[in-house]
Amino acid sequence: MKRLNIENYFDYAATTPLLPTVFTRMQPYFTNLFGNPSSAHRFGQQAYGAVEDARNILLDHFHITNPDNLIFTGSSTEACNTILWGTVFQYWKIYGKPGRLLISPLEHSAVNETAKFLQDAGFCIIDQLPVNQYGQVDPDDVRKMIRSDTVLVSVIYGNNEIGTINPIPEIARVCKEKGIPFHTDATQYVAHNQIDFGNSEISMMNIAAHKCYGPKGTGAILLGNGVENFLPFIHGGKQENGKRAGTHNVPYIVGMAAAYQILDNEFDKRIQFERQKRDLLIQLISENIPDCLLTGHPTERLTNHASFAFKGIDSLVLQSLLDQKGFAVSIGSACRSSKIHGQQQLIDIGLSSEWANGGLRITVGIYTTDDAIYSLVNALKRSIRILRRS
């Protein structure tokens, strides 16, 4: 297979390459240290110790004191499903009627599609929060829209498609005042920010490893101290203190902890690097390509995230042209980019179809170079010129 040029990879919001140091930490648990953490013998207890060491690293990273408040999952998507299903069924079990889910229209599909499924099945009713032109939720709207039968509020922390960061501490505070559980999908945000979750007012939060140079296929749920009667989504064994059944994926859990530990160690340097590359990218595209609009908030956005709408352009064709030139970019979430229709998030923030059909997400990372950015902008400029002439 032909080796690709990693400098031309501009889709870090979809996934990041595994850091060599993370891979080194994971390797022994694929081979010599292969035991099942639930086994009582030495092989199993060796693996169990690795899982608990990883847990302690993550507890320290997120400032959580109770180890039962961190639950390993197979992904952020599983975590979102677990949180929404569990909360909805708790209400259904107590009251025998559907509760209301208050969510934004710009949630990741792990939240949006789960909520729609639960509503279609008759287990909940969705109330949709308004967003401004940047895709942000106003905490005052949350306050106004919470009802006596609201069972959960869920608002994404850092938007995966347009990069906007929501005022999560303020929204969490409103929910706490109203006595309503609050969930945030922080998958993107935690890869570029440090959160004192243990001292926050967030009830539930989900994370993943692969946005932070860790392995794909592992994630976690973080629970606030006030969360009680948490319902598991996957049943079977009693792993994770009965909150999530299934044999632990030991090497991937070790890898996730290693990735966040490395983020801690090099945080300032990494974020400064990301911001410099992102800002250069935004500047060059804005200056060199006409009829171009930066989508999402201009400053309150993820440090590695640039997203644009190009007037009169079919982004699927544009993405294909750039791919032919060796550049990896995205038209939105990797979880839906194979769909031909629509960039709904751009419509939700008020763009007309002549703009919304031309959305492009370009995200940078540790292997991004200035030369690669200049080359990408030149290729983008030429491709758009060709498409607008055709």
Same domain for 302 and 383, yes or no, is yes
Question: Last residue of some domain: 235, 264, 293?
Answer: 264
| Residue 291, domain CATH | 3.90.1150.10
Distance CA 151, CA 98 (A): 9
Residue 248 exposed, middle or buried by CB count within 10 Å (0-12, 13-18, 19+): buried
pLDDT in tens, 155-212: 999 999 999 999 999 999 999 999 999 999 999 999 999 999 999 999 999 999 999 9
Q: Is the dihedral of CA 193, 199, 201, 204 positive or negative?
A: positive
Distance CA 63, CA 195 (A): 8
The pLDDT of residue 344 is above 90 = no
pLDDT confidence band for 390 (50 / 70 / 90)? confident
Q: Identify the three-state secondary structure at position 232.
A: coil
Residue 23 exposed, middle or buried by CB count within 10 Å (0-12, 13-18, 19+): middle
Give 176-197 as a DSSP string: HHHT--EEEE-TTGGGTS---G
Same domain for 337 and 212, yes or no, is no
Percent of the chain with pLDDT over 70: 97
Reported in sequence order, the residue ranges of the chain that DSSP labels E, i.e. its strands, are 70-73, 99-103, 124-128, 150-154, 182-185, 204-208, 219-223, 292-294, 305-310, 359-363
Residue 326's φ and ψ, nearest 5 degrees, are: 95, 10
pTM: 0.95
Same domain for 198 and 333, yes or no, is no
Nearest to 73 by CA among 192, 230, 203, 246: 246
Same domain for 28 and 14, yes or no, is no
| Residue 198, domain CATH | 3.40.640.10
Question: Last residue of some domain: 204, 235, 264?
Answer: 264
Domain interval for residue 369: 6-18+267-389
Percent of the chain with pLDDT over 90: 94
Count Cα neighbours of 271 within 13 Å in the Cβ-side half-sphere: 16
Residue from 124, 212, 292, 335 carrying the catalytic annotation? 335
The domain tally of the chain equals 2
Q: Is 335 a catalytic residue?
A: yes
Tell me if 274 sits within 8 A of 365, measured CB to CB.
yes
